[in-house]
């Protein structure tokens, strides 16, 4: 979840360090140049180029963790070529005679559902999940290959030789294991008072271990600002190896992790970023095994940010491309967190085995294909798939999926009629009950929605779809109360 992104100027916040880069002007220049395929916003690419152009002195290398299609590497190389320091240096002084070192696994896992869409488009580049993208990466960085050393493979199986690191751009801490590995290997190599660290995933709610670690290391870094989802730091002191070796997220108590998570203030960040930090705290509570506290915190967060959340999307099955603007919308991030908390999902972060190519699965069924079409919001394809399925089994699960298709495509009255008929024949179909509750909720009939959701829960206690309806009713009532306060 990703296209080549552009980001609004109001997603840049910070003090003198970021202001000195003149990022609004640099972003305009970046957007007027050759498109760079990948997941970064134009503001983030401009930030990288300007930091390297203005601050890199050649006393250490640049480490780029999670290079994907190479947009960050290209931005860093462009900044380096524009920096007069490069001409005065001998490249042989750097590891492998290259001042920029990029690390990349080389593929994104294929979806578990064999019928799910595997193609992703990034600018003019198309990539198929599960396949290697290394040739595309190599092609994109080819003009700068004399500056870049590319390391392909599992980062947790690689080490750093201790050479000084002047800039670290980290977009790889997707798991707690990777986060701890990056801390152990790279942070002691950063130069006290002379290095920059950028965490690209910092203002993304799902990875609380990054914020816990940076809070733990607050004595060694100064927060300089926010650019899109990236958080920018400069070093104050060198990080001792024994300090970096400790993993506060896995080894610390819940109370310690919460204190580290909230240890640093981020003045001036936008409202969406504030929500991400609040949701990150919810994920932290869940990851550390405190589900009840996570639910309580989630409800408080929903009330605090009701002004930017809006109403729930009808399209519960929609899966936007990771990293796309749609995937970072406040309501979508809240919806995802609600689902995770209500389902009682355990400790977060994929294990290393999950990053390996999936084994061959059996062929998808027609229902699998219909669900995949739903996730793409391809209502026409979903209907085409389901019509012959329903003709063969007029009272089977295909009817429920078609009703869901009609609901999520905005035809609530059609969905309501289908569900009423379906439930008359199959009254204990708990998911149909939950969907009927959502249809009532869309019509703002909270009493009927609550009754249907409670009936679904009597059939299957703990059903997430039904619990979600009750949560959304509470959210809608908060919204109504908030709107009432604003008009008085």
Please indicate whether the domains covering 9-261 and 366-487 agree at the CATH topology level.
no
Contact 227, 27 (CB under 8 A): no
- pLDDT tens per residue across span 449-459: 999 999 999 99
Chain-centroid distance, C-alpha 480: 30
103 vs 72: CA distance, rounded Å: 11
Task: With H, G, I as helix, E, B as strand and everything else as coil, classify residue 223.
Answer: strand
Read off the pLDDT of residues 342-370 as tens digits, 9 standing for 90 and up.
987 654 443 333 333 433 456 789 998 99
Q: Percent helix, strand, coil in the chain (nearest 5)?
A: 55, 10, 35
Pick from 24-38, 342-356, 453-467: least confident: 342-356
Q: Is 214 helix (H, G, I), strand (E, B) or coil?
A: helix
Per-residue pLDDT at 317: 45
Nearest-angstrom CA–CA distance, 108 and 128: 9
Q: What are phi and psi of 357, to 5 degrees?
A: -60, 135
DSSP H or E run through 100: strand 100-104
Q: Report pLDDT for 341.
A: 92
Instruction: List the one residue out of 59, 136, 60, 72 whose CA is nearest residue 103.
Output: 72
Higher pLDDT, 229 or 8: 229
pLDDT tops 50 at residue 21: yes
> What is the DSSP-derived secondary structure letter of residue 440?
H
Q: How far is CA 203 from CA 85, 199, 263, 273, 450, in A?
A: 32, 9, 15, 6, 34
Q: Can you tell me which residue has the tokens 């220049």?
A: 29
Q: Which sequence spans correspond to the domains of the chain?
A: 9-261, 271-353, 366-487
Residue 327's pLDDT band (cuts 50, 70, 90): low
Q: Is the pLDDT of residue 126 over 50?
A: yes
Q: Quote the pLDDT of residue 414.
A: 95
Give the mean pLDDT of 291-304: 90
Q: Among 17-21, 78-82, 278-282, 366-370, which is the least confidently predicted range?
A: 366-370
**What was the pLDDT predicted at 415?**
95
Q: Is the pLDDT of residue 235 over 60?
A: yes
Residue in 411, 171, 243, 183 with CA at minimum distance from that of residue 315: 411
* Mean pLDDT taken over the chain: 88
**CATH 3.40.50.150 is held by the domain 9-261:** yes
29, 46 in Cβ contact below 8 A? yes
Predicted pLDDT at 328: 59
- CATH number for the domain formed by residue range(s) 366-487: 1.25.40.10
Q: What is the DSSP track for 119-144? A: EEEETTEEEETTSB-HHHHHHHHGGG
**Does pLDDT of 334 surpass 70?**
yes
Kindly write down the DSSP assignment for every residue of 382-408, as one continuous string: HHHHHHHHHHH-TTSHHHHHHHHHHHH
The arithmetic mean of pLDDT across residues 209-223, rounded, is 98
């Amino acid at each position: 979840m990703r296209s080549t992104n552009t980001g609004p100027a109001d997603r840049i916040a910070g003090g003198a360090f970021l202001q000195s880069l003149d990022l609004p002007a640099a972003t305009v220049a970046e957007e007027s140049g050759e498109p760079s395929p990948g997941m970064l916003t134009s503001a983030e690419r401009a930030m990288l180029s300007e930091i390297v152009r203005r601050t890199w002195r050649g006393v250490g290398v640049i480490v780029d963790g999670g290079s994907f299609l190479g947009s960050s590497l290209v931005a860093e190389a462009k900044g380096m070529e524009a920096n007069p320091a490069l001409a005065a240096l001998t490249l042989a002084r750097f590891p492998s005679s290259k001042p920029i070192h990029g690390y990349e696994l080389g593929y994104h896992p294929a979806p578990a559902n064999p019928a799910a869409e595997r193609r992703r488009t990034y600018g003019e580049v198309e990539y198929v999940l599960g396949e290697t993208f290394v040739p595309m990466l190599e092609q994109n960085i080819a003009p700068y290959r004399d500056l870049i050393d590319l390391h392909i493979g599992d980062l947790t199986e690689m080490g750093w030789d201790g050479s000084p690191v002047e800039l670290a751009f980290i977009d790889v801490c997707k798991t707690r294991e990777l986060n701890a590995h990056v801390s152990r290997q790279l942070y002691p190599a950063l130069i006290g008072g002379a290095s920059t660290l950028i965490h690209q995933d910092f203002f993304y709610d799902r990875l609380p271990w990054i914020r816990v670690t940076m809070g733990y290391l607050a004595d060694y870094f100064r927060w300089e600002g926010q650019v899109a989802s990236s958080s920018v730091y400069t070093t104050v002191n060198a990080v001792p190896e024994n300090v970096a070796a400790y993993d506060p997220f896995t080894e610390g108590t819940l109370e310690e992790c919460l204190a580290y998570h909230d240890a640093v203030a981020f003045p001036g960040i936008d409202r969406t970023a504030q929500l991400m930090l609040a949701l990150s705290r919810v994920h932290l509570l869940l990851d550390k095994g405190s589900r009840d506290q996570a639910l309580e915190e989630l409800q408080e967060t929903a009330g605090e940010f009701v002004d930017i959340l809006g109403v729930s999307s009808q399209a519960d099955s929609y899966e936007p491309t990771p990293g796309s603007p749609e995937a970072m919308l406040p309501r979508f991030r809240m919806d995802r967190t609600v689902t995770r908390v209500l389902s009682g999902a355990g400790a977060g972060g994929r294990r290393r085995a999950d990053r390996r190519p999936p084994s061959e699965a059996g062929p998808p069924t027609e229902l699998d294909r219909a669900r995949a079409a739903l996730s793409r919001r391809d209502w026409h394809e979903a209907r085409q798939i389901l019509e012959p399925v329903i003709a063969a089994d007029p009272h089977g699960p295909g009817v429920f999926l078609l009703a869901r298709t009609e609901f999520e495509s905005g035809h609530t009255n059609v969905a309501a009629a289908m569900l009423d008929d379906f439930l008359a024949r199959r009254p204990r179909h708990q998911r149909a009950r939950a969907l009927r509750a959502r249809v009532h909720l869309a019509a703002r009939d909270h009493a009927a929605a609550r009754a249907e959701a409670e009936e679904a829960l009597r059939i299957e206690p703990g059903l997430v779809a039904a619990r979600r309806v009750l949560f959304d009713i509470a959210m809608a009532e908060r919204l109504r109360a908030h709107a009432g306060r604003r008009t008085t």
